Structure 1
Amino acid sequence: MATKKIVIDPITRIEGHLRIEVEIDENNTVKEAWASGQLFRGIETILKGRDPRDAGLIAQRICGVCTNVHYRASISAVEDAYGIALPPNAESIRNLVTLALFVQDHIVHYYHLHSLDYVDVVSAISAEPDRAAEVAQTYHNYPYRTSTGHMSAVKEKLTSFVNAGRLGLFANGYWGHNAYRFTPEQNLIHMNHYLEALRVQRDLSRAVAIFAGKTPHPQNLVVGGVTSVADMLNPQRLNDFMFIIKDARDFIERAYLPDIKMALEAYRDDIKAGTGRGSGNFMAVGGYQFGQEQQLFEGGTVFGHDFGSVEPFDEQYITEEASRSWYADDAPVAPYDGKTEPFYTNLNKDGTLKTEGKYSWVKAPRYKGKPMEVGPLARMIIGYLKESPVIKPYMEQFMKETALELMDFSTTLGRNAARAVEARVCCDYLFDFCSDLIENIKYYDEETWTKYDFAALPKAAQGRGIFEVPRGVLGHFIRIDDAKIANYQAVVPTTWNASPKDEGGVRGPYEESLVGITLADPSAPLEVLRVVHSFDPCLACAVHVINTKGRELSHYKIAAACVL
């Protein structure tokens, strides 16, 4: 059977550098896939020998998008190692910042990173604004800023871009591709909300900065608590935060969820065909407690789409291996014992990956020896199956409104649906987390830091910070000897999802989800982008490069997408 390899390098509209290679047969169906992170991550090496209290400020530099969650996981790993418990106010403030980031990240992902895989920008300029306003009414009784006048203004703006040849970041899309299915009016509605989402996500960044000081790279966390005391005690700051969350909730209800429902309707055949479905191994760790005994997310694992069985999560089953990754030690090891010693093998002479050997800077994490998909899809499925009083009502309502079954979420568009449901959950329950903080303050609890004597702490210890973050399960693992960091490993969501094959040749989630999709036009592999983007890749978290003196090691120029 004749096969042909397609190389997409770099994948754009993601964070970091990702290369995807797929092998297709004569019917343009993907038979094999390889996901390759293209830069080395050396943060773990940089951290060795440093004061554990400094770990968070350095570890947050793993990424310029996920700064807060790396900061928090790193600080929490040190607190876990030393047995330092947080005051309730510090936990509340950390949760407010993290969950606001969830909402911001999900809105940015769908509109600014992923929607253009389904939305034809050029088609939108042929839409009839009055008809677009009517179509928007079919998805919500009060759609977000979709009057005829407003839609006319958006169409005029897009038309001026196209006619002037100033498409900017829209310039290199596969416009006119026959895999697009929205009508011109539906495209215009989506582009309208694309532009509106720019303001909403900016304001959500302001909400994060209210308690985090700034974003990206906040500086409000310290081992033992937070430094946001003045912000916590200022009623105006609390009010500003809640006002922004209320505005974001309005956008989610009247724009985000209706647009997702529109996509599910237009691409229902793909959903029912299982396009982008992976192995069905899902993992979540749960967390984010509020009130007396409630928590936002449930922990657990599901294997092979067996929705009748949810096993408890146990971090002892986590390993990482590098048999197909550009590192020296191949064998599976626990994160506390992991090493970060690069061992690069070059590409083939034709520029393709050496796909039978090492081919990625991303390691291969496994749980009980199996690759696991993490993220909103895993959280929503596990929350639903575990009868979460938080998650299940939202999932049931959405499934009733869209006629989706649980298996339908395990697809390319299903991942987007799960993410939209989660954005609504986080936005709604942020007010409960605010209430916890206000209730503490009302009864004169103003503690935000647990005092400790570093000199009296153990000289040797190990700990971890494991959290659900926007893209999935994040774990930071630290081992301390002689009061210095002896070993450090971060196992991040994109490491789980962008994992290369393991020693047994078992594909990671990206790769498994790509196998079986059919391309309408191999020279414009839009379908590949849809699958990969549905995971919300953040390769910067999975890979990094810098030397210990902060100097550039090499300069790389990556060729545009090509077909071999």
Structure 2
Amino acid sequence: MITHELIERIEGEAVLDFKTDKSGHVQEASIRFLHFRGMEAILEGRNALDALVIAPRVCGICGHSHLIAAVRMLENLYASAGSAVKVTPKAHALREVTRVCELMQNHIKWLYLVMLHESGKLLGKEPPVALRALYASSQINQMSALFSGQWPHSSYAHAGGVTCDPTHIEVMQALKLLSDVERFIEKDVLGCKTENFEANMDVESLLLMEGDFGTLLRYFERLDLLDLGKSHGRFLVLGEDAHEITPNERSSAHIDFVSEDDSQTFAHGGKTYAKNALYRGKFYETGPLARAINTERSGVSALYQQYGDTALTRITARIDEVVSLIAYVRLLLTSLDLTESSFIPPVSIESISGKGVGVVEAPRGSLIHRATVEKGKIASYSIITPTQWNLGNGTYDSPGIAQKAMLGIESTAKASLIFRTFDVCSVCTTH
């Protein structure tokens, strides 16, 4: 039987096309993203610095990631043209604070506005009131805005640094907001201290947790989905610590092996506007689970060794990332040297020609911006977004990451829930 399901409660919309057997089990699944916005084409012909204003508007959730990717692209462009740009440790740290804030607020919204709501609906449960979660997310955005000026769609980062010059008071305000968010994570999300969570990350302990994260895992257990959702077991991180991890090997990753495949797009009579992102010609999972395995965070790594890339491991990795990033942001803020320069101006962009690439680990995974610039004007611009990696639409013989994870699930409703564990975003995908 063929069925179609519209996926809402995401950034944008998606449609899942299912082929099921007589018992309702999913035999095939394809993913369609229906909208096209042409952000790459909009950038062509413009001054290269316009990317700092337009690129953050690719997405309303991960605009800072697109900004930082665009900035890194410009700085790489300068370097390839023989005019290397210097960025102080202070400027780099401030960029990291805003990027990481974006990851944290995204994961909190995903937990409360998507996962608890959709899994509870399948069980007839009333979703928890999300006001405290939304308030915590707003505190994270306030912390980011102390340095970026606004959220979303900031353009505070430029080639050569950042436009802010924070005071000691602003750093103290950020640390206060961070402590408030940590208390929310401990009280509402985990139901315990973060150190207790990290020290007891086995399935028995996780299922006994009193917080909303524990509730989500118990929902998945009741739905018999906790140990399902396995995909290819191939992971990719392309940020500073770039690696590819397969079941048999871990090796350094290089952007030269990244490619796009448009054979499944509407332009070719296929099923989606989204192009597939491939590494060495294959689908690789990106995002929190890939990053946790890459950095060998002990709790998630142990879960992965025992349960593989199941819903249990994938969900836990996203929550564990929030916990680890709280400590990372605190370290960044307390280590800031406010006497350093925030911005070191580069030479005029109008004198620069060449190619540049910028790579960032965004909430959903590896984000790539590439551009060719001729005397300061953008000749071509290409973006590979994180959702392209995880939600690529492959073939029956070579399914994408989320496609494979949905195969064999006993109903389309449950398969759709597995689909959501990848943190779906369609507006980035259909740029």
Give the corresponding residue for 1:201.
137
Alignment size in residue pairs:
406
Alignment of 1:280-295 (within 5 A): 280-287=233-240
Give the Cα–Cα distance (whole angstroms) in 1 for the partners of residues 111 and 219 of structure 2: 16
What's the offset of the Cα at 1:285? Answer: 2.3
Q: Secondary structure at the match of 1:540?
A: coil
Checking the alignment, whether the CA contact within 8 Å between 1:479 and 1:485 is kept in structure 2 is: yes
Checking the alignment, whether the CA contact within 8 Å between 1:100 and 1:245 is kept in structure 2 is: no
What code does the residue aligned with 2:370 have? F
Give the corresponding residue for 1:5.
2
Q: Does 1:433 align with 2:332?
A: yes
1:497 to 382, 387, 390: 390
What code does the residue aligned with 2:260 have? E
Q: With the length of structure 2 as denominator, give the TM-score of the two structures.
A: 0.88
Give the corresponding residue for 2:208.
none
Checking the alignment, whether the CA contact within 8 Å between 1:283 and 1:373 is kept in structure 2 is: yes
Structure 1 residues 517, 203: CA separation in 2 closer, same or farther (over 3 Å shift)?
same
Structure 1 residues 273, 470: CA separation in 2 closer, same or farther (over 3 Å shift)?
closer
Q: Secondary structure at the match of 2:335?
A: helix
Q: Does 1:412 align with 2:311?
A: yes
Percent identity, aligned pairs only, is 26
Give the corresponding residue for 2:99.
98
Give the corresponding residue for 2:194.
none
Q: Does 1:468 align with 2:361?
A: yes
What code does the residue aligned with 1:489 have? S
Give the Cα–Cα distance (whole angstroms) in 2 for the partners of residues 526 and 272 of structure 1: 12
Give the Cα–Cα distance (whole angstroms) in 2 for the partners of residues 483 and 203 of structure 1: 38
Give the corresponding residue for 1:67.
63
Greater Rg, structure 1 or structure 2?
Answer: 1
Checking the alignment, whether the CA contact within 8 Å between 2:283 and 2:400 is kept in structure 1 is: yes
2:231 to 278, 289, 301: 278
Q: Secondary structure at the match of 1:85?
A: coil
Q: Secondary structure at the match of 1:416?
A: helix
2:186 to 253, 278, 301: 253
What's the offset of the Cα at 1:210? Answer: 1.0
Task: Summarize deviations over 1:188-219 as a string: whole Å, max 9, x none.
Answer: 7x715x33212111211111111111111113
Checking the alignment, whether the CA contact within 8 Å between 1:249 and 1:428 is kept in structure 2 is: no
Q: Secondary structure at the match of 1:217?
A: coil
Unaligned residue ranges in structure 2 (runs of 5+): 80-84, 191-210
What code does the residue aligned with 1:255 have? D
What's the offset of the Cα at 1:381? Answer: 1.7
Give the corresponding residue for 1:450.
344
Q: Secondary structure at the match of 1:21?
A: strand
Alignment of 1:10-89 (within 5 A): 11-83=7-79, 84-89=85-90
Give the Cα–Cα distance (whole angstroms) in 1 for the partners of residues 308 and 214 of structure 2: 13
What's the offset of the Cα at 1:463? Answer: 1.1
Structure 1 residues 428, 268: CA separation in 2 closer, same or farther (over 3 Å shift)?
same
Unaligned residue ranges in structure 1 (runs of 5+): 121-173, 177-186, 288-297, 327-342, 346-357, 385-390, 520-524, 545-564
Task: Summarize deviations over 1:498-530 as a string: whole Å, max 9, x none.
Answer: 11116x9521112111111111xxxxx431221
Checking the alignment, whether the CA contact within 8 Å between 1:415 and 1:534 is kept in structure 2 is: yes
2:406 to 503, 514, 525: 514
Give the corresponding residue for 2:430.
543
Task: Summarize deviations over 1:408-456 as a string: whole Å, max 9, x none.
Answer: 251223211110000000011111111221xx22xx32x0112222168
Checking the alignment, whether the CA contact within 8 Å between 2:350 and 2:377 is kept in structure 1 is: no
Moved over 2 A (4+): 117-120, 257-274, 404-409, 455-458
1:324 to 254, 259, 264: 264
Give the Cα–Cα distance (whole angstroms) in 2 for the partners of residues 26 and 417 of structure 1: 33
Q: Does 1:530 align with 2:417?
A: yes
Alignment of 1:161-172 (within 5 A): none
Q: With the length of structure 1 as denominator, give the TM-score of the two structures.
A: 0.68
1:480 to 358, 364, 373: 373
Structure 1 residues 267, 64: CA separation in 2 closer, same or farther (over 3 Å shift)?
closer
What's the offset of the Cα at 1:225? Answer: 1.3
Give the Cα–Cα distance (whole angstroms) in 1 for the partners of residues 292 and 349 of structure 2: 44
Checking the alignment, whether the CA contact within 8 Å between 2:116 and 2:128 is kept in structure 1 is: no
Structure 1 residues 271, 224: CA separation in 2 closer, same or farther (over 3 Å shift)?
farther
